[in-house]
Structure 1
Amino acid sequence: MWNQDDQGVDELLEWLMNEYGQSITRLAFTYTKQNHTAEDIAQEVFIKCYRKLDEFRHESSYKTWLYSITVNLCKDKLKSWSFRNIIFSDLLPTKAKLMETPESQLLNFENNRMLADQIFSLPLKYREVIILYYYEELSYNEVSDLLKIKISTVKSRLHRARLLLKHKLERSISNG
């Protein structure tokens, strides 16, 4: 249990927001596919974090705890009627990349867009393991803890997701 004064809690929250804010927003985006909604969810995550910080038991890292809150809020949002009736148009944001020429920038953008489209077309249970493992760079154990599934299930879903993604990309290339 967190036993510091309010200033200590405020400082910890500020550190958590600086340390994990972008990752939380990016993770929320992978579920919602909308920048604005992802930013709203990130704000909700840190509000919930602030309210529950004294209940944090240190059984996991802050990162895993915040990701768990994010995943749960995202799943709640995806279940809501209003969200299910929104048309998606944003692309998966990726970590900063070094690009040398305008041609390579365009090629990378097109490749990333195609990959993002294919990832977003995967069923949620496959999409979330791909995002958590490859984009958020979580370990099998962390993904397992976060999604509350067995490690063998994480590995199985990753394998199936990669196969589905491979087939989708092959079809996309052959049709394009």
Structure 2
Amino acid sequence: MGHSKAFHPTCDKEGIKELQSNPALAIETIMDTYGDEIKRLVFAYVKNSADTDDVTQEVFVTIYQKLNTFQGNSSLKSWIYSIAINKCKDYLRSWHSRNKRLREKLITSSHTMKQEEITPEELALEKDHSSELLKTVMDLPIKYREVIILFYFKDLSTKEISQVLDMNEATVRTRLNRGRDKLKECLSSNKGGASHG
């Protein structure tokens, strides 16, 4: 609507040149194409609505700044995901070191959150899968949570995940298997009726 020609974020050589020749249009297109996806991905890491917006904004600023460094060695999506995940991890490192008590408060308040107080990001994530499974995934340690989310919720292959996370593909598979085992344990113990929180 309003653009004279269709402009799709592709990663063939010509597509990359076209992206890089007009970064303003490129970032607009990338935000239209991946904006919601990236926001959900960021939320899966930071688990808090206000910070999701801040980190997502930083992700797109970084994509804009680094667009000319993208060489098409991976898919554009993998490249964008790796920037988003690095930003999330930077955020988590600085946030954890400064705000442990705040984190505890957020966790307790999120457990007692009423249905109508669920954030748009949580709703969007819940649409991706059943909410019981999603809550269990969100409670996994980050190293399992990220591979489960990228593989099942974002449909990345183990090879793409290894590029995005900059780790060995065998490690990705191991973490996927362990993450699945932990999910099964948590889901079966939840069904066992133990309802202490």
Name the TM tier (shorter chain). Answer: 0.7 to 0.9
Question: Paired residue for 1:53?
Answer: 67
- Number of the residue aligned with 2:155: 137
Counterpart of 1:94 in structure 2 is 125
CA positional deviation for 1:82: 4.0
Contact 2:20/2:67 (8 A) holds in 1: no
Q: In structure 1, the residue corresponding to 2:156 is in which secondary structure?
A: coil
TM-score (norm 2): 0.74
Identity of aligned residues (%): 37
> Residue by residue, what CA displacement relative to the aligned partner does 1:91-143 show, whole Å, maximum 9, x if unpaired?
4742757xxxxxxxxxx8xx51x222211221111111001101111111110
148-157 or 68-77, which deviates more: 148-157
Instruction: Tell me: higher relative CO, structure 1 or 2? Use CA pairs within 8 A at least 6 residues apart.
Output: 1
Q: Any conservation in 2 of the 1:30–1:92 contact (CA below 8 Å)? A: no
The AA in structure 1 aligned to 2:50 is H
Q: Distance in 2 between matches of 1:34 and 1:66?
A: 21
Deviation for aligned residue 1:151: 1.3
**Partners of 2:18 and 2:147 in 1: CA distance:** 36
Determine whether 1:32 maps to 2:46.
yes
Q: Paired residue for 1:120, among 124, 135, 138?
A: 138
Residue identity in the other structure for 1:131: I
Distance change (3 Å), C-alpha of 1:3 and 1:151: closer
Asked if the contact 2:158–2:172 (Cα under 8 Å) also holds between the matched residues in 1, the reply is yes
For the residues of structure 1 that align with 2:155 and 2:40, how far apart are their CA atoms?
Answer: 12
CA RMSD of aligned residues (A): 2.5
- TM-score normalized with structure 1 length: 0.82
Give the alignment partner of residue 90 of structure 2, picking from 76, 80, 88.
Answer: 76
**Alignment partner of 1:153 is 2:171:** yes
Give deviations 1:3-52, integer Å, cap 9, x for gaps: 66997221111110000011110000000011221121111011011111
Residues 152 and 57 of structure 1, relative CA distance in 2, 3 Å threshold: same
